[in-house]
Chains A and B, each alone.
Chain A
Amino acid sequence: MSENTLIQKKPDTALILLGCPQIPIQTSAALYLSGILNKKDVNVTIGGTKAARSLVQIADVDGVYTGGAGRMQDLDAVIESMADGTFDTDVSFVFVHNEAGVAYTATIQAISSGTVIAVVFGGETEARMNELTEIGCPAVTAKGSHNPLPLKRKIDGVISWDA
């Protein structure tokens, strides 16, 4: 399946699940993806560890991307509410740069009824893509840690759907 057909129809809701924030482009890519989804009238929830959420939230002074009730969620709370069926989204973007990110992707695949897409970046993208292929998860990928443009282009490619 090509990147631009991963999302078949317009989602009403989306989850952006952040990984460990040690790779700089994660925060930029998350804010960008959230902004683009907001412009397309998709209700976005961002989940992550306290550090990952703080990096996003502090950069978003006016709460443009992170404001509103329920739009920023603790990582564990997202997993638990999806697992118990009280929360779900039409599409989930799971940010992946290490093995733990692949495990979180597999978890979201198991507990969400929506489409799951891994957003892969960092210095070990080949290994991560192989692991994601093993679990059958579609992904967009751009190798690198500091320049967000290649990943932005990949994100642009996946944010399209039939009207």
Chain B
Amino acid sequence: MGCIEKLNYEVIDKHVSFKEAAAYIDKNCAEVYEVKPGFKIFDKGMIGIPPVRIGLDGDVVTFPFTKPCYGTFLLRVSDAVEADIIRKKAKKIR
């Protein structure tokens, strides 16, 4: 899974559905963005069932991450550059 697995990430939850991931982000993140599947995050195209949500709290990015054999994880990574890219490219819904 390339770059994301090399990041210093925190696993918030595992085996989540995209509805559950979106609900967590809606409830817990200061800023909420919506993207189309394929949107690049940490240099990787996102996998997901629309609407795919990304949450931001300052530099902290919260997002769903799917692995073919292990399902979907909800991850949190602190990265100022990536947070800026998301603010510029993704659709802000809150």
| Chain A residues touching B, range | 20 to 34
Q: Which residue of B lies closest to A108 (CB)?
A: B37
Number of A-B contacts (CB under 8 A): 70
Which residue in B18, B38, B71 is a CB contact (below 8 Å) of A83? B38
B37 close to A110 (CB less than 8 A): yes
A103 close to B69 (CB less than 8 A): no
Please classify the interface of chain B as helix (H, G, I), strand (E, B), loop, or mixed, using the class held by over half of its residues. loop
User: Which B residues between 34 and 66 are near A, CB-CB below 8 angstroms?
Assistant: 36-40, 44-50, 66
Query: Given A100-B71, A103-B66, list of 19 further CB < 8 A pairs?
Result: A19-B68, A49-B68, A52-B68, A76-B45, A79-B47, A80-B40, A83-B38, A98-B71, A99-B15, A99-B17, A100-B47, A100-B69, A102-B49, A106-B48, A106-B49, A107-B37, A107-B46, A111-B38, A135-B49
Q: Which residues of B contact A (CB under 8 A)?
A: 1-2, 15, 17-18, 36-40, 44-50, 66-72
